[in-house]
A and B are shown apart, each in its own frame.
Chain A
């Protein structure tokens, strides 16, 4: 279990996540993609903490921060999706094209 291995796994997750973010029409699925990215990031963070930073507490904190980001964005995102769904009955990015140019 080397750092490289961990990071590569993280990279895979990030790649898949980015794919999801860019490809999904549904807001929810799109956010899942984001989650997956952050998942990879979190893995990388812990990996760094454990294998390069020599247990520097900052690393753990970073992981927590990433988690926080994830949570916050999920919450805000769901709230917004709800609002949009209520006012526009839209659940996909293509549903919202009034604001353009």
Chain B
């Protein structure tokens, strides 16, 4: 049993369990110590992941687990996102009695997202989705005494339960058709002409994964979670599962030959997702909810790369880079929200630039990056997306994305305008130092990923997708 191949996951798991035990023995006022503990665990996992970068891409655990560029990079992004959201947490949950367990759940959620990225077996996929979902519900509902939070949690759950049921159904049908759940064998058996049942099974699985990706038609939980969940958790939930799911989806669709017109399906989902997300965000006066909608639309952009997967060598690197840029920018935005003690009403943001220039700068940077203003990370990500999409002959998709980008600019500016142009009415209280540190880090990444994009990009271009 090649334990070495899952060292990162193991370290995350072990630290999760450790935290759980520690939390049940630590005194209440020491609970925050779990945060540094979690950071240590994530750092170790990160180190192991980096170590894996060197190795040649391979399938282990008899084809269940992929160690390729895609999964490794995705897991790195997930780990970073998790670490940053951990930084946001301790001050936020200070007075929560179950402070310590939070980190355990978060770690397990991280594990689930990582497993999503690496799964090359349909059953493994199911379990990964399940793990990240069940932890996700918990994180979303973590403010057990706060109506919005639990409401977000149960809505997340209801959508998730059906999605998983459909996923399981799809997988079972797949098994019935091909008598296997292993990607490698699937790829070899899907070649001979697809039956109608295959199409049904395929679309069921797609919906199941789309739920994790917060893509239409299973996107409905995203705005609720973004608004209701604790902002640190929302930051995590809008990023980590999405990253994993994007890779999982890419892996899955890549198995199927052209006589299943999956490109048009993915393209449709992409357009629907980015449009619905943008239209939803357009009228929002609630910043957290707006961020939720905007991250729906961002999934749509990511799907562009999946649409053209295999048509252009840059598709996969573009996807990874875009996910990375999205992750840092989105984290920065949620970080600012957290640091402002969950301030969410648009009007409450008036004059932020005067009250807290640095936070305002971070917010501006993250929003501009989400729009794709150069030379920020988001720009390079979008540029790569557009390049690969157009290169693969899907220029019309790029045009749709372009229009959506313009629309998105409007609602980002609707926030930035009061932030910068108005004067503050009341003093704006902030949370604490670690959240501030997280914000600064994210802003820094947002800038540097754009300015110094080359090393990352060059490494990403080597990334591979198995099988």
Do any beta carbons of A and B sit within 8 angstroms of each other in the complex? yes
Query: Chain A: residues with CB nearer than 8 A to chain B?
Result: 7, 14, 17, 21, 27, 30-31, 34, 37-38, 41, 44-45, 47-48, 52-54, 56, 58-59, 61-62, 65-66, 68-69, 72-73, 76-77, 80-81, 83-84, 86-88, 93, 96, 98-99, 101
- Kindly name the residue among B141, B157, B172 whose own CB sees the greatest number of chain A CB atoms within 10 A: B172
Looking at the complex, which one of B127, B150, B164 makes contact with A87 (CB distance below 8 Å)?
Answer: B150
> Which 6 A-B residue pairings sit nearest by Cβ, starting from the closest?
A48-B176, A99-B224, A53-B179, A96-B151, A80-B154, A45-B172
Q: Do A41 and B154 touch across chains, with their CB atoms under 8 A apart?
A: no
B452 within 8 A of A: no
Question: Chain B residues near A77 (CB, 8 Å)?
Answer: 157, 161
CA distance A62 to B151 in the complex (A): 32
Question: Chain A residues near B168 (CB, 8 Å)?
Answer: 38, 41, 65-66, 69
CA distance A38 to B164 in the complex (A): 10
Question: Chain A residues near B395 (CB, 8 Å)?
Answer: none
Shortest distance between the CB of B137 and any CB in chain A (Å): 6
Q: B interface, by DSSP: helix, strand, loop or mixed?
A: helix
Q: Do A84 and B154 touch across chains, with their CB atoms under 8 A apart?
A: yes
Q: Do B179 and A87 touch across chains, with their CB atoms under 8 A apart?
A: no
Q: Do A80 and B227 touch across chains, with their CB atoms under 8 A apart?
A: no
Question: Chain B residues near A101 (CB, 8 Å)?
Answer: 280, 283-284, 289
* Total A-B pairs, Cβ < 8 A: 119
Known: A45-B172, A48-B175. A80 touches B141 (CB 8 A): yes
Shortest distance between the CB of B163 and any CB in chain A (Å): 11
Interface residues of B, CB < 8 Å — how many?
Answer: 43
B95 within 8 A of A: no
Q: Do B169 and A37 touch across chains, with their CB atoms under 8 A apart?
A: yes
Using CB atoms, name the residue of chain A closest to B286.
A101
Q: Do A62 and B181 touch across chains, with their CB atoms under 8 A apart?
A: yes
Using CB atoms, name the residue of chain A closest to B123.
A65
Known: A44-B176, A45-B172. A84 touches B161 (CB 8 A): no
Question: Chain B residues near A56 (CB, 8 Å)?
Answer: 179-180
Shortest distance between the CB of B429 and any CB in chain A (Å): 25
What are 19 A-B pairs with beta-carbon distances under 8 A?
A: A14-B169, A31-B161, A34-B161, A41-B169, A45-B172, A53-B175, A65-B168, A73-B157, A73-B164, A76-B134, A76-B137, A77-B161, A80-B137, A80-B157, A83-B150, A88-B151, A98-B148, A101-B280, A101-B289
Using CB atoms, name the residue of chain A closest to B170.
A41
CA distance A77 to B134 in the complex (A): 9
B258 within 8 A of A: no
B145 within 8 A of A: yes
Looking at the complex, which one of B153, B162, B172 makes contact with A21 (CB distance below 8 Å)?
Answer: B162
Looking at the complex, which one of A72, A80, A98 makes contact with B147 (CB distance below 8 Å)?
Answer: A98
